[in-house]
Homo-oligomer: A and B are copies of this chain.
Amino acid sequence: MEVWVQEATFDVGQELNAFAKTAEGSGAVVSFTGITRDIAGGLRHMEIEHYPGMTERALGDIRLEAITRFDLTGARIIHRYGRLAPNEVIMMVLTAAPHRADAFKGAEFLMDYLKSRAPFWKREVTADGAEWVAAKDEDEDALKRW
């Protein structure tokens, strides 16, 4: 299985090294790492809720779709849930392909789909209280290009 949904933090460097090893002969490896940002200022922490079972299934489906579409030789998704401090790693996707354009497109496709199609919900907790992060129209629009 190449999809991990976990509460624990992880080391992105270790993940990249491990993935690159499995991608021998691929030429191109792309990684995307998402980090909690304190956009408005005053973020105490972020909470990520998810839908156990459906999350793994949705990510698995998106992964297979990316592999097929872009002739990837490998793809991996790691996504955390639970409580995250500012500047913590939230998630990572990794893709490998013989050609760099495919590795890039595969990673962008995975990101666009998991943003709007994988059952995660973020909540930001500040001194003023907690607020669910609203989905962005631009994230929904990003799907239209695929």
Contact = CB atoms under 8 A, between A and B. Distances in A.
Range of interface residues on A (Cβ < 8 Å): 35 or more
Given A35-B20, A108-B104, A30 B27 contact: no
Contact of A16 (B13, B23, B101, B111): B13
Q: How many copies does the complex hold?
A: 2
Given A100-B111, A111-B100, A35 B14 contact: no
Q: Is the interface of A mostly helix, strand, loop or mixed?
A: mixed
Contact of A32 (B25, B30, B38): B30
6 contacts: A11-B17, A12-B13, A20-B89, A23-B35, A27-B35, A101-B108
Interface of A: 11-17, 20, 23-35, 37-38, 86-87, 89, 98, 100-101, 103-104, 107-108, 111, 142
